[in-house]
Chains A and B, each alone.
Chain A
Amino acid sequence: MKILVCISNVPDTTTKIKLAEGNSTIDTAGIQWVINPWDELSLTRALELRDDAASGIKSVTVAHVGPASSEPVIRKALAIGADEAIRVNANSPDAYYVAAQLAEVIKKEQFDIILCGIESSDYNGSLVGGMISEFLGIPSASGVSGIKIENGTAVVTRDIDGGKEILEMPVPFVAVVQKGIAKEPKIAAMRGIMLARTKQIKVYEPSAVEPLTNISVLEKPAPRSACRFIDAENPGQLIDLLRNEAKVI
């Protein structure tokens, strides 16, 4: 069996986001890009399965939709241990576009298990995984916090309200994973880093797909205004402020 891990690159979580001129994109100057944390955990789990001879997983591929400038992040995935990498050479305007491109890749290359992060830490859309399964007409499970292979069958654990749901999944399928899928992201070993140099990144040109959405404007949350304390003995003042200053009642 073959696993595909879909990875996106996101600004390092400590980045202070600035908006670019026109306020419809972020200013990428000086940003350090990293693998989306959920995808990194998916990759870690995929590699654990591959390295367990009993699982029957033969290889792990990563796929990314993005321009050549995002190759360092793909290289990092290879250094962590992915066997192969695919890049669809296009910017990613929206989730629909990305999912459509990835679905095309999957059709060409045939994977058994497709792992997507539940969201990416930049736009937090939570859309791509579900859309891929829809494009391909294959089952998907979301909120997946565990995956194992038992006697050749994939078993996933989903977190549901108040408990867990355990499902056997027929391949091929999409698993939309969340934290818990692996304990800690795997650190790239020096040998992996050196090997990554020798691995090819396969580049596909994008298929003709029109994005469905368009970002017209990004706004930063308004800075929180100062907190005012009102003496507990003085509820009248609170009512007065809510009515006359905040004008909410």
Chain B
Amino acid sequence: METVKLLKSGEFLVAETSPDDVFIPEEFNDEQRMIAQTCQDFLEAEVYPNMADLEKGDRELMKRILKKSGELGMMGISIPEEFGGFGQSFVSQMLVAETTGAGYSFSVAYMAHCGIGTLPIMYYGNKDQRERYVTKLATGELIGSYCLTEPGAGSDANSGKTNAKLSEDGKYYILNGQKMWITNAGFADTQVVFAKIDNDRVMSAFIVERNFTGVVVGNDEHKMGIRGSSTAQIYYNDVKVPVENLLGKRGEGFRIALSILHMGRLKLGANVVGAAKKAVTDSVKYANERKQFGVLISSFGAIKHKLASQVIRLFASESAVYRVSRDIDGMMETLKADCGDTGRASIEAISHYAVEAAILKVFGSEMLDFVADEAVQIHGGMGYSAEMDVERGYRDSRINRIFEGTNEINRLLVVDTAMKRAMKGEFDLFGKAEALFNDLDKITGGESSGESYFIEKSRYIQNFKKVIMICIHGAVKQFAKNLINEQEVLNNIADMMMETYVSESLLLRVTKLENLKEIKPVYRDILDVNVYDTAEIVRKSACDAIYSFASPETTTSLIKAIEALTTVRGVNVKDARRRIADKLIEDNRYGF
């Protein structure tokens, strides 16, 4: 791997990145494209034709389809070869997550298996556990699940009551408790269960087999969406779990649970890109067929506006997804050289990018909700018909804001984690923030005459970062340790961080595309509208935050600085969106 400059998690706030240091989806090699094609072919051959039956709750069918994907090797992407997988890069793993993300409830079942169901054992298991379980999970011989949530412990995951006690002969942990909302519960052979041993303060993790005596799986929940996936409660009544099935060390469970969630969030960020591409393609196909007032509805400005807005958010989200993925691959390489174990190196690298993981999760799930909602709207009454994919897509999309940590929790994490990393000295956030804050009166937008298109855009992005730093410094100064209780302000900061990270990723992608001579004017249109919108979101969020924390004496100078830093060149958004929509309409599918 060529050397690229690796940003630490959250460091984007204070650093400038070169387009050469990011990976963009246009750089996939032929092998990666073939891997994605296989996933796509699989959805078309096995999933879509069975969708109606899956939705009616045929769990045997879901299990069979999952196993078929295993036979094709789709479950071994993230697993090293020595444990029966294909040891693919994180970028390739994300590409698979993206492509299968268009598979509605199959995607949820498949991702739960390959991700949270399998990877805790791959990453934290010992050799014996990996050989006994991972080799079979990697081929679909076993189906996996992940059991963290309890009736009384959702967002506050460590508060669970499930308990484990060592048996007198020291051979077993006796497990008692109840888990809730467990994906694949109906048919999973293995469960990674989190429970506290004796009166421990933190949880431990166990590998439980479905057929251990005392494991009782409840009925499937009736859900708003992803109805093809099995979600149920699981009860543990004096279940004897062999001590060999303790995963990681005693008390390491919470760390395992959190690390795996970071991984889940990243993969979810890729999933929603795939789901959104499907929804945009469905939207434009319909708009290119449906006529009203004697013309195709795709010729109406209002519809073009929707189609283009879908594309812009999707394209931007995708740019961020692959940017982080490459960073993770880079970090993995470094760590692998240090610790020698691929599994541990992978999860360390993934957990390192916790800030970006939460960003992809929140931004991506909200992007998909927007895209899915507009897809319904473009279909008019037909969008409300249960016969249409967009109707299912709309219902299925909603879960993404809830699981893998709700978006509220993840917004808090975006800010909290970045600040903690900075406090640990991983990058200089507070020093820079303070300097800016103390020199508010000198702040300008920094416009210089004759700057090039990309230099100007980069200046805007750097300005948005300054806004974020000013707000962080102001809020910390005002609330000190109490900032944690000022969630509204933290949300404002999180929103700015997310929009800025995504816009910067988009800018880097478009710059790199032009460097690679793939000049298509429509990419600049996407960037223009996105940065113009981001400026507005950053301005509004910053103002909301400042009015919430600043004293009347400082408000005026703060707001003045924010206005200077968020002023961007005006864009003819109507024409830009029309050009974007026209390309989509011409292609009749999402092909950006």
Contact = CB atoms under 8 A, between A and B. Distances in A.
B474 interface: no
Contacts of B73: 189-191
Nearest to B589: A14
A185 B86 CA distance: 23
A2 interface: no
B72 A189 contact: yes
B584 to A, nearest CB: 12
A75 interface: yes
Main secondary structure of the interface of B (DSSP, over half): helix
B117 interface: no
A193 B589 contact: no
A190 B586 contact: no
Interface in B547-567: none
B45 A190 contact: no
Given A72-B30, A75-B30, A184-B45, A190 B35 contact: yes
Nearest to A72: B30
Interface string A158-200: 0000000000000000000000000011011111011011000
Interface in A64-80: 72, 75-76, 79
* Most chain B beta carbons < 10 A, residue from A16, A75, A184, A187: A187
Contacts of B72: 187, 189-190
A189 B38 contact: yes
Nearest to B44: A187
A187 B45 contact: yes
A30 interface: yes
A187 B73 CA distance: 11
B35 A187 contact: no
Interface string B12-37: 00000000000000000011011101
Contacts of A72: 30, 33-34
Interface in A1-48: 14, 16, 30
B31 A193 contact: yes
Contacts of A185: 41
B38 to A, nearest CB: 5
Nearest to A193: B34
Interface in A187-218: 187-191, 193-194, 196-197
Contact of A16 (B34, B35, B41, B588): B588
Nearest to A191: B73
Contacts of B77: 190
* Most chain B beta carbons < 10 A, residue from A16, A185, A188: A188
Interface string B198-214: 00000000000000000
Given A16-B586, A16-B588, A30-B591, A188 B45 contact: no
A129 to B, nearest CB: 26
Given A187-B38, A187-B72, A188-B37, A194 B86 contact: yes
A103 to B, nearest CB: 29
17 contacts: A16-B587, A72-B33, A72-B34, A75-B34, A76-B34, A76-B37, A79-B34, A187-B42, A187-B72, A188-B38, A189-B72, A189-B73, A190-B35, A190-B73, A193-B34, A193-B35, A193-B38
Interface of A: 14, 16, 30, 72, 75-76, 79, 184-185, 187-191, 193-194, 196-197
